[in-house]
Chains A and B, each alone.
Chain A
Amino acid sequence: MTKGGSALFPALGPRLMRSLGTLAIVVLLGGFAAAALVRYGPGFCTDENAWNPQYSASSEEATRRRCEDENNLPQFYLRYLRGAVEGNFGTSKSYGVPVRELIESRVPITAGLVAFGVGGGVLLAGLFAWIAVWSRMPAVEAGVSGVVAVLLAVPPAVLALGFFLQEAPIQFAVSLTVLARIFGTVRTMLHDAYGSSPLLAARARGLGPIALGWRYVLRPLAPRILALFGVAVMIAFGALVPIEALCDVPGIGQLAWKAAVSRDLPLLSALSLIITFLVASIHSLGEVLAGRTSRDSEAAV
Chain B
Amino acid sequence: MWKRLALIFLLLVGTSALLSPVIAPFSYSEQFRDSANAPPGGKFLLGTDDMGRDRLSRLLYATAVSAVLAPAAAALSVLLALLACAFPGLVVGGLTTICLSIPWIFLFIILRAELPLNTDPSISVLLTFALMGVAGWAGPARVFSGSIREMMESGWMLQARSAGIAGWRIGLVYAWPHLRSVALAQFRVLAPVYILAEASLGLLGLGVAEPMPSWGNLLRDLQHPDMVRQNPAILAPLLLLMLCLLAIEAVAVKTHEKEVFR
Touch A–B, Cβ below 8 Å: yes
Please report A residues at the B interface, Cβ cutoff 8 Å. 22, 25-26, 29-30, 33-34, 37-38, 40-43, 149-150, 152-155, 157-158, 161, 165, 242, 246, 256, 260-261, 268, 272, 275-276, 278-280, 283, 287, 291-292, 294-295, 298-299, 301
Q: Chain B contact residues: over half helix, strand or loop, or mixed?
A: helix
For residue B244, which residue of chain A has the nearest CB?
A: A153
Q: Chain B nearest CB: distance from A30 CB in Å?
A: 4
User: Are B101 and A283 in touch, CB under 8 angstroms?
Assistant: no
Question: Measured between alpha carbons, how far is A140 from B106 in the docked complex, in Å?
Answer: 45
Known: A152-B249, A155-B219, A301-B139. 5 other contacts (CB 8 A): A26-B97, A158-B219, A260-B103, A295-B143, A298-B139
CB-CB contacts below 8 Å: B142-198 with A: 142-143, 146-147, 149-150, 153, 182, 185-186, 189, 192, 196
Contact A34 to B150, CB < 8 A, known contacts A41-B106, A155-B196, A158-B219: no
Interface assignment of B83: CB less than 8 Å from any CB of chain A: no
User: Are A165 and B192 in touch, CB under 8 angstroms?
Assistant: no
Question: Measured between alpha carbons, how far is A157 from B198 in the docked complex, in Å?
Answer: 13
Q: Chain A nearest CB: distance from B192 CB in Å?
A: 7
**A41 contacts which chain B residues (CB < 8 A)?**
106, 109-110, 113
| Interchain CB contact (< 8 A) of A272 among B103, B109, B153 | B103
| Interchain CB contact (< 8 A) of A153 among B114, B153, B245 | B245
Question: Measured between alpha carbons, how far is A161 from B107 in the docked complex, in Å?
Answer: 27
User: Are B98 and A30 in touch, CB under 8 angstroms?
Assistant: yes
Interface assignment of B22: CB less than 8 Å from any CB of chain A: no
Contact A33 to B149, CB < 8 A, known contacts A149-B249, A157-B200, A299-B182: no
User: Are A276 and B142 in touch, CB under 8 angstroms?
Assistant: no
Question: Measured between alpha carbons, how far is A33 from B94 in the docked complex, in Å?
Answer: 13
Interface assignment of B204: CB less than 8 Å from any CB of chain A: yes
Q: Which 4 A-B pairs have the closest CB atoms?
A: A295-B146, A153-B245, A276-B101, A42-B113
User: Are B246 and A272 in touch, CB under 8 angstroms?
Assistant: no
User: Are A29 and B246 in touch, CB under 8 angstroms?
Assistant: no
Q: Chain B nearest CB: distance from A97 CB in Å?
A: 21
For residue B192, which residue of chain A has the nearest CB?
A: A153
Question: Measured between alpha carbons, how far is A261 from B201 in the docked complex, in Å?
Answer: 12
User: Are A295 and B147 in touch, CB under 8 angstroms?
Assistant: yes
Q: Chain A nearest CB: distance from B31 CB in Å?
A: 27
For residue B112, which residue of chain A has the nearest CB?
A: A42
CB-CB contacts below 8 Å: B111-132 with A: 113-114
CB-CB contacts below 8 Å: B246-262 with A: 246, 249-250
Interface assignment of B14: CB less than 8 Å from any CB of chain A: no
Interface assignment of B23: CB less than 8 Å from any CB of chain A: no
**B225 contacts which chain A residues (CB < 8 A)?**
165
Contact A26 to B98, CB < 8 A, known contacts A153-B192, A295-B143: yes
User: Are A275 and B200 in touch, CB under 8 angstroms?
Assistant: no
User: Are A25 and B94 in touch, CB under 8 angstroms?
Assistant: yes
Interface assignment of B80: CB less than 8 Å from any CB of chain A: no
| Interchain CB contact (< 8 A) of A260 among B106, B186, B199 | B106
User: Are B139 and A272 in touch, CB under 8 angstroms?
Assistant: no
User: Are B102 and A299 in touch, CB under 8 angstroms?
Assistant: no
Question: Measured between alpha carbons, how far is A292 from B151 in the docked complex, in Å?
Answer: 10
**B153 contacts which chain A residues (CB < 8 A)?**
291
**B114 contacts which chain A residues (CB < 8 A)?**
42
Question: Measured between alpha carbons, how far is A287 from B90 in the docked complex, in Å?
Answer: 12
Interface centre among B103, B113, B196 (most CB of A within 10 A): B103
